[in-house]
Amino acid sequence: MKNLIAIVVGEPNSINSEIIVKAWKKISKKQKKNIFLIGSAELLNKQFDKLKIYVPLTKIDKFSEIKSGKQLQILDVKIKFNNPFKVSSSQSSKYVLKCLNLAHNLSYNKKIYGFINCPIDKFNTFKSKKIGVTEYLSKKNKLLNSEIMMIYNKKFAVVPITTHIKVKNISKILNKQLIKKKILNLNISYKKIFKKNPFIGVLGLNPHNDELRHNSEEEKIIKPLIKYFKKKGFNIVGPIPSDTAFIKQKKDKYDVLVGMYHDQVLQTFKTLFEYDAINMTLGLKYLRLSPDHGTAKDIICLGKANPISLISCINFIYKQLND
């Protein structure tokens, strides 16, 4: 069963049912043989009906019953929804966590190769703006600040050192140990997945690298780490001023741009690639991916949802499975 890939249905109040059914219609027959869903069969069927997009859904009650085939199978997470089109926050949180935990357990115990989780409302699910799926799975994998959020497009990728924290707290959290651990694990994981040593560009924290003043984070923390990694044989440069980093990327062709905080690298990256990107967590004991967009609650059941990011996730994990 290790050749199976799960797609976690995710947030019930979302476009997830639409992107799942649209992606299923576009992927190849070979890919379909390796994929199953984790979620509520009742919920998905009712949402499919409202979308008027019909795909036969085979309900599976036990993991052992899943068979390789062309039918869309769903490992049923039994939870009774009062309203499948407007699920309460408490029911949604319970449901999403149940699905994520099941996917984690199957992956961690090597029952399946890995999983893709469709978008969730992290504040509703985890009751915190500081925690997302990346941090949640990191804790379940018993990692401590060594997990890596990488947003990937076939042209290049970006990695933020800090993720879901307030801007005013970034400089308080950044330190040599944290950055060192993240870049070490990035290099190891990237080589494992892509079979090459990455060319890494590291951004500074401040505008214009704070002119490299002696008490700046660039001078005290980042420059010494770049020297350390170069001595270790890493293909790495920095600190790069963040305002020109993506211009330099076009010229120097970095495999990964590492930023000090979330929006420093994700804002420009998403402007460049929109939905054509995937979110992956490096450092786990399995491969976990997610479409690089949110729940899009404003277009639920309007038929406007774009499945390209989910399709990219499926293509990527399927290629990894078969390499």
- Can you give the pTM of this predicted structure? 0.90
Answer yes or no: is pLDDT of 130 > 70.
no
Would you call 117 helix, strand, or coil by DSSP? Answer: strand
Which domains are present in the chain?
Answer: 1-143+284-323 (3.40.718.10), 146-283 (3.40.718.10)
* CB proximity list for 321: less than 8 A, separation 6 or greater: 3, 5, 34, 113
Task: Count Cα atoms within 13 angstroms, Cβ side, for 107.
Answer: 25
* CB-CB contact of 93 with 125 (8 Å): yes
Instruction: Give me the helix-helix angle, 245-252 and 262-273, nearest 10°.
Output: 60
The larger pLDDT score, comparing residue 41 to residue 2, is at 41
Q: Which residue has the tokens 């929109």?
A: 274
The amino acid that residue 78 corresponds to is K
For residue range 39-82, list pLDDT tens digits in order.
Answer: 999 999 988 888 888 888 999 999 999 987 778 999 999 888 87
For residue range 218-231, list pLDDT tens digits in order.
Answer: 999 999 999 999 99
Read off the pLDDT band of 19 (50, 70, 90). very high
Closest CA relative to residue 46, chosen from 14, 76, 85 = 85
